[in-house]
Amino acid sequence: MSRARALLRYRYIWTTLAIAAVTAVLALVGQGTAARWVATSYVLLIAARSAVGMIASLRKGSWGIDVLAVAAIVATVALGDFWAALVVVLMLLSGEALEDFAGRRAHRELAALMSRAPRVAHREVAGAVVDVPVDAIVPGDLVEVRPGETVPVDGALLGDGASFDESSITGESLPVWRAAGYTIRSGTVNADEVVTLRAVTTAALSEYQTIVELVRSAANSKAPFVRLADRVAIPFTIGALVIGALAWIISGDPARLAEVLVVATPCPLLIATPVAFIAGMSSAAARGVIVKGGGVIEQLSRVRTAAFDKTGTLTAGAPEIDRIESVDGDEERVLATAAALESGSAHVLAKAIVAAAAERGLGVTEADDLSEKLASGMRGMVGGLTAASGKKDFVAPHAHLPWPALAAGESAVYVSLGAALIGRIVLTDEVRPSARPTVAGLRALGISPIVMLTGDSVDTAQKVASAVGIDDVRAGLLPGDKLRMVGDLAPRPVLMVGDGVNDAPVLAAADVGIAMGARGATAASESADAVILVEDLGRVLEVVVLARRVVRIAYQSIGLGIGLSVVLMIVASLGVIPAIVGAALQEVVDVLTIANSLRAARSITPRVAPGPERAAPRSAASASG
């Protein structure tokens, strides 16, 4: 921040210091009356300014402790102690400045994320490169990204592979190598030579803009816990007035009331709590987790039960075709028919099948009259014949299978053409290496039961559950079944972790929903309360530990602010602390409490830390849940 901007932002503090200097000069030259009028007029103007804001808050149903600051200013003025009144004003204004500074400090990671949003793109047109607003880019445009520049839109990498810095998206500090054809997400930084991308979407629909909107929503939130601090203000204010009145009545000295009120203005009660929550969200963002509000932080800190989807959550969600089994030996027909149908689906299995068909160079016929039954499969017309792909009960419920049963950890997409079963595609998926440590870590925090909810078969689900340490398995579920079961889980609050479109309803219905959004699962990300932007399930454990720490720090800040202020009030009621000294001591309380809240911005390591995804052994698991 430049000096000019700092002067403007904190102009009331500088004005107060200037008024204090003028008052001191007048007093030194024997103009005591003029000094009193200058100081008194100024502090009453500030009191009126605060009173206007206080009245506006009261009309909205919010009771703040600023009422005590206003009362302290009026009381010290009434007693003729204009120096104490000036110190109270300085304390009040510096409290606001501390709130602003602490808020800006806590927003640092969030603001950095938003400030890096690209605004200009280099579009290639007829061999020339033209700078255009990023919003002018449409799918299919060729976009040049120079070394050190931020990728403006999601795009497929052309030419040779290149290295990219994805730290602003994933939190990974080291550059990563991406091969040609890989979809580079907007917001990453080109760490190599000049590269060219083919835009696959507009800037508004790109990954980075989605993240920015999530961050903006998070930054503008106010937690229910913060409203708790507002409610604490009511008994605290009444208590302060009672202590001050009793001190006046017992001692017969009205100055005691002013001295009590001066030390009874704990700005931290209203400042430190939101600062702790904003700092916590900032810390989470730095670790690749966007939390959509302080209320989510509070709920996460209280979670008692956890539920996990399987595919793309406990497993990597990147299924690979293990084998194709055909009734008549024509494997290519099975794959081509499935690819024609699955090209209209967003399921991870569909993507694997379509990609496999493309790799084999199959001429896939476009399917007509496509329809999808959620969590079951696809129907349509392929080559003039009715076709279906998906679960056996959906595709061919009465067909005899000429193949052996699937092994545990395998999943199959069955395919029919002309109402006859023609084959199945068997796929496998890997359990995330971080899944077992995450489950163990949550259980160590006292979160139990931990449940798996999946649409996959019981055998496959049990295999994955055994690998990650989950005992309670609910398999063969439709989205509606998941919704009902999450509603019945206890004790509450319930945490639900998922990734796909079919998880969107249950993520929205859970007390806290966390989406594995690294692959851009928009529906899940929008309905969830928090979004993990990296392929690391361990961030679930991290954010729960972080939430508990943030709430603990917020409670500590409230206790510290109230406790120190009560001690100062009691001492002030005995006439030991002059009003001007009390005001200075209260300023120390402000700084201590806000400094305590800012500890929430520091990252922490969970007691059971998940290992890196790439370091764990392979394990086969299904990919249809």
What's the average model confidence in pLDDT over 74-89?
81
Q: Which residue has the higher pLDDT, 363 or 614?
A: 363
Q: Let me know whether 124 and 190 are in one domain.
A: yes
Is residue 614 very low, low, confident or very high in pLDDT (cuts 50, 70, 90)? Answer: very low
Q: Are 190 and 218 contacting, i.e. CB atoms less than 8 angstroms apart?
A: no
Is residue 281 very low, low, confident or very high in pLDDT (cuts 50, 70, 90)? Answer: confident
- Whether 300 has a pLDDT exceeding 70, the answer reads yes
Q: Are 331 and 360 contacting, i.e. CB atoms less than 8 angstroms apart?
A: no
The whole-angstrom separation of Cα 279 and Cα 106 is 4
Q: Is 396 among the domain residues?
A: yes
Q: Let me know whether 156 and 248 are in one domain.
A: no
Structure confidence at residue 220 (pLDDT): 56
List, for residues 550-608, the tens digit of each pLDDT value: 999 988 888 888 888 889 999 999 988 887 788 778 778 878 888 888 888 776 655 44
Q: How much of the chain exceeds pLDDT 70, in percent?
A: 81
What's the average model confidence in pLDDT over 196-207?
86
Tell me the pairing of strands 512-516 and 530-532.
parallel
Domain boundary among 361, 395, 428: 428
Q: How much of the chain exceeds pLDDT 90, in percent?
A: 33
CA-derived radius of gyration, the chain: 31
Q: Is 35 among the domain residues?
A: yes
What's the per-residue H, E or C state across 33-94? Answer: HHHHHHHHHHHHHHHHHHHHHHHHHHHCCCCCCHHHHHHHHHHHHHCCCHHHHHHHHHHHHH
Q: Let me know whether 261 and 294 are in one domain.
A: no
Q: Are 95 and 271 contacting, i.e. CB atoms less than 8 angstroms apart?
A: yes
Q: Which residue has the higher pLDDT, 186 or 229?
A: 186
Q: Is 113 among the domain residues?
A: no
Q: Let me know whether 195 and 146 are in one domain.
A: yes
- Whether 94 has a pLDDT exceeding 50, the answer reads yes
Domain boundary among 382, 401, 428: 428
| Range picked from 53-62, 123-132, 168-177, 340-349 for highest mean pLDDT | 123-132
Residue 372: phi and psi, rounded to 5, are: -125, 135
The whole-angstrom separation of Cα 139 and Cα 154 is 9
Q: Is 208 among the domain residues?
A: no
Is residue 337 very low, low, confident or very high in pLDDT (cuts 50, 70, 90)? Answer: very high
Residue 41 belongs to what domain range?
A: 3-108+219-278+548-601
Residue 163: phi and psi, rounded to 5, are: -100, 145
- Whether 360 has a pLDDT exceeding 60, the answer reads yes
Q: Which residue has the higher pLDDT, 189 or 518?
A: 189
Structure confidence at residue 346 (pLDDT): 67
Task: Please tell me whether the peptide bond between 118 and the residue prior to it is cis, using omega within 30 degrees of 0.
Answer: no
Residues marked as catalytic: 309
| Range picked from 149-158, 172-181, 234-243, 262-271 for highest mean pLDDT | 149-158
| Average predicted confidence (pLDDT) for the chain | 82
Residue in 68, 66, 80 with CA at minimum distance from that of residue 35: 80
Q: How many separate domains does the chain show? A: 4
Q: Let me know whether 438 and 306 are in one domain.
A: yes
- Which residues fall within 8 angstroms of residue 120, CB to CB, at 6 or more apart? 131, 132, 133, 134, 152
End-to-end CA distance of the chain: 51
Q: Let me know whether 179 and 38 are in one domain.
A: no
- Picking from 130-134, 268-272, 340-344, which range would have the lowest pLDDT averaged per residue? 268-272
Structure confidence at residue 277 (pLDDT): 85
Q: Is 492 among the domain residues?
A: yes
Is residue 615 very low, low, confident or very high in pLDDT (cuts 50, 70, 90)? Answer: very low
Q: Is 622 among the domain residues?
A: no
- Which residues fall within 8 angstroms of residue 475, CB to CB, at 6 or more apart? 452, 454, 455, 456, 457, 458, 460, 461, 462, 625
Is residue 72 very low, low, confident or very high in pLDDT (cuts 50, 70, 90)? Answer: confident
Q: Let me know whether 103 and 244 are in one domain.
A: yes
The CATH number given to whatever domain includes residue 403 is: 3.40.1110.10
Can you point out the beta strands (E) in 134-259?
A: 142-145, 155-157, 162-165, 176-178, 183-184, 189-190, 195-199
- Whether 112 has a pLDDT exceeding 70, the answer reads no
The CATH number given to whatever domain includes residue 144 is: 2.70.150.10
The whole-angstrom separation of Cα 279 and Cα 119 is 27
The whole-angstrom separation of Cα 202 and Cα 199 is 7
The CATH number given to whatever domain includes residue 456 is: 3.40.50.1000
Rounded (5°) CA angle 523-196-175: 70
Q: Let me know whether 437 and 540 are in one domain.
A: yes
Domain boundary among 428, 453, 487: 428
Task: Please tell me whether the peptide bond between 491 and the residue prior to it is cis, using omega within 30 degrees of 0.
Answer: yes
The whole-angstrom separation of Cα 281 and Cα 616 is 29
- Whether 336 has a pLDDT exceeding 80, the answer reads yes
Q: Let me know whether 529 and 572 are in one domain.
A: no
Q: Let me know whether 97 and 11 are in one domain.
A: yes
Q: Are 371 and 378 contacting, i.e. CB atoms less than 8 angstroms apart?
A: yes
Is residue 620 very low, low, confident or very high in pLDDT (cuts 50, 70, 90)? Answer: very low
Q: Let me know whether 336 and 374 are in one domain.
A: yes
Structure confidence at residue 557 (pLDDT): 87
- Whether 26 has a pLDDT exceeding 80, the answer reads yes
Q: Let me know whether 227 and 139 are in one domain.
A: no
Q: Is 593 among the domain residues?
A: yes
Count of other CB atoms within 10 angstroms of residue 220: 9
Q: Is 207 among the domain residues?
A: no
- Picking from 174-178, 390-394, 411-415, 565-569, which range would have the lowest pLDDT averaged per residue? 174-178
Q: What are the contacts of 58-66 at 24+ separation with CB within 8 A? A: 62/230, 63/230, 63/231, 63/233, 63/234, 63/237, 64/230, 64/233, 64/270, 65/233, 65/236, 65/237, 65/265, 65/266, 65/267, 65/269, 65/270, 66/92, 66/270
What's the average model confidence in pLDDT over 92-117?
63
Hey, CA dihedral for 403, 406, 407, 410, is it positive or negative?
positive
Q: Which residue has the higher pLDDT, 169 or 595?
A: 595
Structure confidence at residue 424 (pLDDT): 96
State pTM to two decimals.
0.66
Is residue 448 very low, low, confident or very high in pLDDT (cuts 50, 70, 90)? Answer: very high
